[in-house]
Structure formats: structure tokens, C-alpha cells
């Protein structure tokens, strides 16, 4: 198998976890390269529901190595909790099947406190973050004051790094009318979990380099989606990392050339959690139906996801930005029974046609989608096992999307379960 990067092509929650779990059957290693526990991936395997945030979605498969790259920001308490939950579900985790980049940065309680506080202060202008401290943790990483996994090796290192970090956070919090962070509580907390987390620390760049040399198959798992990307997303309503496929290099210490193919993942309609422009959003009966049938509630925060029509202009841009050679289209079953389906094919802005969303948030908010209409289908697609089992109108809808986004759909997903995954064309074949 070539080394594949799987990335979301919309605003996250495209079903990346389910698809990564499926294709991980052909991988030796699955690596996360950005984001943190703002990600929430649901896998339904053998009647069990697994909810993952930090651990890569290949973890359910035996004999597979899960790796958390240096581009991920790691809340050590969440990590340990996730390990505990997985173990209770019969998945054992040890240094043999989990490695964490020694130079990855940590998310601490003061990060989520700051995240939540800033959102409260922003009021109506809030981003609608997950409140998990992801933005503040990345700020500290770039500000060169983060505590990293390697600092957990000894208490003196934790102590030294904590002083540098608190110098900044004390000033920040006082400026925001808050008390200084409790240094002792932070130190004690970190010292307590340090050995439990540090045992997974590894030079991930080297581990992956060696894996490549011995022809191991590596699957890089993206979190969030292209339109939450810090550069290409609907800024400022984005996350704080680069969600593009190219981020897999910097986020793991892998050199260009190591990634052979990019698989883009998108839903057969659109969803978004949190604030920000969403041109094809439906605030009507159809939107509510998509949310109900698609069970569109955030895995992380339980918030209801906003729903709308498939935006082909957006996904086409995402395919180009990520260099996708193939697409996995999920949740097609959610459209069953809708009489007329619409696909966004561009936008009207101040009377002018735009092929892609402009970069300015105010213009994005004013963009009016231009739609194509297609007839829906009455039949259930949830039990289809082959593409030929799909109703003609569903096939026409899928083929039209493929044409509009300019990228072949090679995988179709028609229920949350692992086995409801239809391969239209082998992902690993040359064409």
C-alpha cells in the first residue's frame, strides 16, 4: 500500500475516523499529525461504539502501531482517560502499540480556562471553539514557552518550563481580571501524570523513517477539515492548526516524498459546529431532518451541528488544496427519502458569480449559494452492499458530485458501521 494521508474536505466530522479505521486494515502504522482533543471520531466496530479524540483511529486493529506526531497538542489527562476507556473496552494499550512524539506540546488546564474565558468575553463574536484549550496551547507552542512531552522526563524540567509559561499566563490572566494560575497545583498535577505519559515518548521522526526503510505502510490521519484550516479556512472561525495534507510532513517529522497519496473525506451534505459563515446552511425542515437522521451532534461537546446542502464549490477547492487523488463520500444514507436534493456549485456575491468562497469573513457571510437541483430517492441505501444496489437517483447524485469536485469517489459509506463501506475502485490501484 502507498503511504496515504486522509484529510477532511469540509468543516470536520466528515466521518474520517470511520474511513481511517476501514483503510487501516492495510496499514502498519496510523499517525495523527495535528489538532488535539478538539477532534472527536466515532467508530462502530463489532457492535461496539468507540469514541476517540487523541488516539489514532487505527487503534482498534490488532498488531497496528498508533503514533501521535509532534504537530498534535496533547492534554495528558485526556490521553490517559482515553487509554483507560479503550482498555475497559478490551483494547490494550502499551508502549508496543502507542508512541507519542517526544517533542509534542502539552495542553494544560490553564489553556482550556483561557479558551473558555476568551469565548465568554467575545460574546456574540465568539468562534464557538470546543473550549478544550487548543488555540491557547498552539499559541504557547509558537511562543516558545510550551511544556513538551520530553519535559515530563524529570521534575526539574517541568519546574523550569512551568516558570517560563506562568510568567506569560500570569500577566495575561491578570489583564483579563483573573487570578494568577495556581503553580503548585499545576506542578503537582504534571508530576503525578508524567511517568504514565512519558513511557510512550519516542523520537517519532526516527521511528517513521525506520518504518519507511523497512517498507511499512503508513496512514496519516488528519483531524478537523480544510475549511477549519488556519490559513485556508473561514478565518477567523477556524481551528489553530494547519489541517491541510501538507501538515502531515511538519507534524510528524516526515520528509516530502514520504506521502504517496491524499484521500479526501467528505459527507454527502455539509455540517459545521460553532460560529462562522456557512453559505449552504439550511435553517428549515430539511436542515432539521439532516441533523436528526444524521445524528448530527458533536462527539466532543455534544453541540448540535448546523446542517446544509453539499457545497461542491467548497469541496472542489478542498480537493485542490489537499491534492486529493480520491474521495471517500460518507453518510449518503442520510439523504434517503428527501424529494429534491440541491448541490451548491458556486456563489453570487454582490450580483457577481464566484467560483470559490472569497477570503473575507464578511463576504463569505454575504455569499449566496448557486444551486443545481437533482431528484432524490425513496429507497433506503443503508443496507446496500454494492454500488449497483443503489437507486439510480443516488448513483446520479454521487456521479454529479464527482464531476463537480473534479475528483473520483472511490469509497462510499452508508452507515456508521465498519462493514457499511463500499469500495468503488481499489484505493491502492495505480489509476
> In the range 287-346, which residues lie near ligand GDP by CB under 6 A?
294-295, 299, 330-331, 333-334
CB 294 within 8 A of CB 271: yes
How far apart, in whole angstroms, are the C-alpha atoms of residue 121 and residue 136?
15
How far apart, in whole angstroms, are the C-alpha atoms of residue 39 and residue 56?
11
Cell numbers found for residue 81: 482517560
SS3 state at 219: strand
Contact status: 15 vs ligand GDP (CB under 6 A): yes
The position carrying cell 464578511 is 362
Minimum distance of ligand GDP from residue 239's CB (angstroms):
12
| Window of 35-43, 259-267, 330-338, 383-391 that interacts with ligand IMO by CB under 6 A | 35-43
Minimum distance of ligand GDP from residue 1's CB (angstroms):
21
Cβ-based neighbour number of residue 416 at 10 Å: 20
Choose the contact partner of 240 out of ligand IMO, Mg ion, ligand GDP, none; CB within 5 to 8 A by kind: ligand IMO
Contact status: 15 vs ligand IMO (CB under 6 A): no
Contact status: 136 vs ligand IMO (CB under 6 A): no
CA neighbours closer than 13 Å in the CB half-sphere of residue 46: 6
Contact status: 294 vs Mg ion (CB under 5 A): no
How far apart, in whole angstroms, are the C-alpha atoms of residue 180 and residue 163?
12
Minimum distance of ligand IMO from residue 140's CB (angstroms):
14
Which residue, among 309, 81, 277, 104, has the nearest Cα to 202 in the 3D structure?
Answer: 104
Cell numbers found for residue 425: 475502485
C-beta closer to ligand IMO: residue 240 or 317: 240
> In the range 398-417, which residues lie near ligand GDP by CB under 6 A?
413-416
Choose the contact partner of 239 out of ligand GDP, Mg ion, ligand IMO, none; CB within 5 to 8 A by kind: ligand IMO
- Whether 37 is catalytic: no
How far apart, in whole angstroms, are the C-alpha atoms of residue 109 and residue 367?
38
From the candidates 13, 75, 229, 333, which is the catalytic residue?
Answer: 13
Cis peptide before 196 (omega within 30 of 0): no
Work out which of 15, 71, 135, 264 binds ligand IMO, going by CB under 6 A. Answer: 135
The position carrying cell 429534491 is 340
Contact status: 40 vs ligand GDP (CB under 6 A): yes
Own/partner long-range contacts of 376-379 (Cβ < 8 Å, ≥24 apart)? 376/335, 376/337, 376/338, 376/339, 376/340, 376/341, 377/335, 377/336, 377/337, 378/336, 378/337, 379/336
- Whether 140 is catalytic: no
The position carrying cell 446542517 is 307
Q: What angle do CA 45, 327, 291 make, to 5 degrees?
A: 60
C-beta closer to ligand GDP: residue 211 or 262: 262
Which residue, among 374, 195, 179, 365, has the nearest Cα to 279 in the 3D structure?
Answer: 365
How far apart, in whole angstroms, are the C-alpha atoms of residue 7 and residue 28?
19
| Window of 36-44, 330-338, 342-350, 373-381 that interacts with Mg ion by CB under 5 A | 36-44
User: Using the 8-state DSSP alphabet, how is residue 24 labeled?
Assistant: G
> In the range 94-123, which residues lie near ligand GDP by CB under 6 A?
none
Contact status: 14 vs Mg ion (CB under 5 A): no
C-beta closer to ligand IMO: residue 15 or 369: 15
Contact status: 128 vs ligand IMO (CB under 6 A): yes
Contact status: 40 vs Mg ion (CB under 5 A): yes
> Residue count at the site for Mg ion (CB under 5 A)?
3
> In the range 236-265, which residues lie near ligand IMO by CB under 6 A?
237, 239-240
SS3 state at 195: helix
Work out which of 3, 34, 38, 270 binds ligand IMO, going by CB under 6 A. Answer: 38
| Window of 103-111, 123-131, 327-335, 360-368 that interacts with ligand IMO by CB under 6 A | 123-131
| Window of 21-29, 126-134, 183-191, 288-296 that interacts with ligand IMO by CB under 6 A | 126-134
Binding-site ranges for ligand GDP (CB under 6 A): 8, 12-18, 40-42, 44, 294-295, 299, 330-331, 333-334, 413-416
Cite the active site residues: 13, 41
Binding-site ranges for ligand IMO (CB under 6 A): 8, 11-13, 38-41, 127-130, 132, 134-135, 223-225, 228, 237, 239-240, 273-274
Amino acid at each position: 500500500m502507498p503511504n496515504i494521508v486522509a484529510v477532511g474536505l469540509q468543516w470536520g466530522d466528515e466521518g474520517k475516523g470511520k474511513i481511517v479505521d476501514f483503510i487501516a486494515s492495510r496499514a502498519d502504522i496510523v499517525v495523527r499529525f495535528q489538532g488535539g482533543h478538539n477532534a472527536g471520531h466515532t467508530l462502530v466496530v463489532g457492535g461496539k461504539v468507540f469514541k476517540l479524540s487523541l488516539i489514532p483511529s487505527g487503534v482498534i486493529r490488532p498488531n497496528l502501531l498508533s503514533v501521535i506526531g509532534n504537530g498534535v497538542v496533547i492534554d495528558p489527562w485526556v490521553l490517559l482517560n482515553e487509554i483507560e476507556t479503550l482498555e475497559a473496552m478490551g483494547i490494550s494499550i502499551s508502549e508496543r502499540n502507542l508512541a507519542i512524539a517526544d517533542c509534542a506540546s502539552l495542553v494544560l488546564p490553564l489553556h482550556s480556562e483561557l479558551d473558555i474565558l476568551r469565548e465568554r468575553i467575545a460574546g456574540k463574536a465568539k468562534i464557538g471553539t470546543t473550549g478544550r484549550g487548543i488555540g491557547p496551547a498552539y499559541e504557547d507552542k509558537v511562543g516558545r514557552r510550551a511544556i513538551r512531552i520530553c519535559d515530563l522526563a524529570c521534575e526539574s524540567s517541568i519546574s523550569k518550563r512551568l516558570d517560563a509559561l506562568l510568567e506569560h499566563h500570569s500577566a495575561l490572566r491578570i489583564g483579563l481580571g483573573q487570578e494568577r494560575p495556581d503553580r503548585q497545583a499545576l506542578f503537582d498535577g504534571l508530576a503525578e501524570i508524567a511517568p504514565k505519559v512519558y513511557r510512550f515518548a519516542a523520537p517519532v521522526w526516527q521511528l517513521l523513517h525506520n518504518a519507511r526503510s523497512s517498507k511499512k505502510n503508513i496512514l496519516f490521519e488528519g483531524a478537523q477539515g480544510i475549511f477549519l484550516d488556519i490559513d485556508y479556512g473561514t478565518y477567523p472561525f477556524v481551528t489553530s492548526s494547519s489541517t491541510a495534507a501538507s501538515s502531515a510532513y511538519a507534524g510528524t517529522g516526515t520528509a516530502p516524498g514520504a506521502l504517496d497519496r491524499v484521500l479526501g473525506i467528505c459527507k454527502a451534505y455539509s455540517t459545521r459546529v460553532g460560529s462562522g459563515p456557512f453559505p449552504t446552511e439550511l435553517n428549515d425542515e430539511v436542515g432539521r431532518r439532516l441533523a436528526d437522521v444524521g445524528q448530527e451532534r458533536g462527539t466532543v461537546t455534544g453541540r448540535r451541528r448546523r446542517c446544509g446542502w453539499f457545497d461542491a464549490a467548497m469541496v472542489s477547492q478542498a480537493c485542490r488544496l489537499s491534492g486529493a487523488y480520491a474521495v471517500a463520500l460518507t453518510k449518503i444514507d442520510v439523504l434517503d427519502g428527501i424529494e429534491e436534493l440541491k448541490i451548491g456549485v458556486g456563489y453570487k456575491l454582490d450580483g457577481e458569480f464566484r467560483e470559490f468562497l472569497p477570503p473575507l469573513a464578511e463576504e463569505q457571510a454575504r455569499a449566496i449559494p448557486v444551486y443545481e437541483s437533482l431528484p432524490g430517492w425513496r429507497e433506503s441505501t443503508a443496507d446496500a452492499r454494492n454500488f449497483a444496489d443503489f437507486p439510480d437517483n443516488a448513483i446520479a447524485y454521487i456521479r454529479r458530485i464527482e464531476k463537480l469536485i473534479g475528483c473520483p469517489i472511490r469509497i462510499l459509506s452508508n452507515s456508521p458501521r465498519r462493514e457499511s463501506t463500499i469500495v468503488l475502485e481499489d484505493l491502492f490501484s495505480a489509476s
